[in-house]
Amino acid sequence: MKRKACVIGWPIEHSRSPIIHTHWLGRHGIDGRYDKVAVKPEADALCHFLKTLRQNGYVGCNVTVPHKEAAFGLLDRADPSAKAVSAANTIWMEGDLICGANTDTYGFMAHLTVTVPDWKSALVGKDQTALVLGAGGAARAIVYGLIEAGISQIVLCNRTLERAQTVARDFGQHATIKTADWSTRQAEVVRAGLIINTTTMGMNDNGDLGLDLSAAPNDCVVADIVYVPLETGLLSAAKASGLRTVDGLGMLLHQAVPGFEKWFGIRPDVTDELRQIIIADLARAA
């Protein structure tokens, strides 16, 4: 029987996950399918969908906005990444159990490591910090990944300070996490060996983080999780200052890998061919 997976969200039209998974299905000659399913924001719609996942012929699904946190609450078994982030984006069945993970952590860390293999050298053994801008779900996933990678000095800067303080409290036993007022973000750049934008600023060119990156250490790595545009204002400022950059598209591609492997049994590669397919689709949508 054809193995089927899908992505659920509301709205779901913009999701690129079907392009990614359908590409891999074709590459590996797997007789499978990956659908887009619109699931309304109400909790009972999500609950009904997940409880009938198997009945509807699905081996699993990806979960996107606005369901990631609610999906976590409906899991029978959550892996450590989902527990750390309190959100699930990848779901599969084990017997009758609904199981879930959060692969944003893997996606970000894998792309960072592929793009700048020695990124840690700007942090470990130096008095330099990882500066994380934002304190939403993406920031939680990335802070968890940094801590797992052994990074011990993290600065969290968010427009709403209380949200940064919550993240710092939740992860603070594993690393030194300092919270900083949004208005002081420029001052934090001077000591940053890694700067990561997890906010929506810069998406579709809506505003600028307003950072002067010429003040950053010259081995600093600058990452953005925004991928529309592919080169955000932050990344172009980093390049202009001669800093190494990591774009947001790679995180999107890499986060899809563990789900595909769970559902279809083969670990796929993130290739330049796939990247170009998504870039072409983004250009069509622009």
Query: Which residues here bind ligand ATR, judged by CB under 6 A?
Result: 134-139, 158-160, 163, 198-201, 207
CA distance 44 to 36: 19
Which of 12, 93 has the CB closer to ligand ATR?
Answer: 12
Which of 200, 241 has the CB closer to ligand ATR?
Answer: 200
**In the complex, what is the shortest distance from the CB of residue 245 to ligand ATR, in angstroms, rounded to a whole number?**
20
Residue 155 carries which DSSP code? Answer: E
Spatial CB neighbours of 250, under 8 Å, sequence gap ≥ 6: 107, 110, 111, 114, 115, 270, 275
C-alpha distances in Å from residue 170, one per residue of 89, 164, 270: 20, 10, 32
**In the complex, what is the shortest distance from the CB of residue 121 to ligand ATR, in angstroms, rounded to a whole number?**
27
Tokens matching residue 82 = 């989902």
Tokens matching residue 177 = 């996490």
CA distance 43 to 61: 17
Query: Pairing relation of β-strands 77-78 and 176-181?
Result: unpaired
**In the complex, what is the shortest distance from the CB of residue 65 to ligand ATR, in angstroms, rounded to a whole number?**
7
Catalytic member of 68, 120, 126, 239: 68
Which of 122, 139 has the CB closer to ligand ATR?
Answer: 139
CA distance 88 to 64: 9
Is-catalytic flag, 51? no
Quick check: 132 and 142 in contact, CB under 8 A? yes
Closest residue by Cα to residue 86 from 167, 168, 199, 197:
167
Q: Which residue is nearest to ligand ATR (CB)?
A: 136
Which of 100, 137 has the CB closer to ligand ATR?
Answer: 137
Which of 233, 268 has the CB closer to ligand ATR?
Answer: 233
**In the complex, what is the shortest distance from the CB of residue 145 to ligand ATR, in angstroms, rounded to a whole number?**
14
**In the complex, what is the shortest distance from the CB of residue 158 to ligand ATR, in angstroms, rounded to a whole number?**
5
Taking each helix axis from N to C end, the angle separating 137-148 and 104-115, rounded to the nearest 10 degrees, works out to 60
- What residues are annotated to the active site? 68
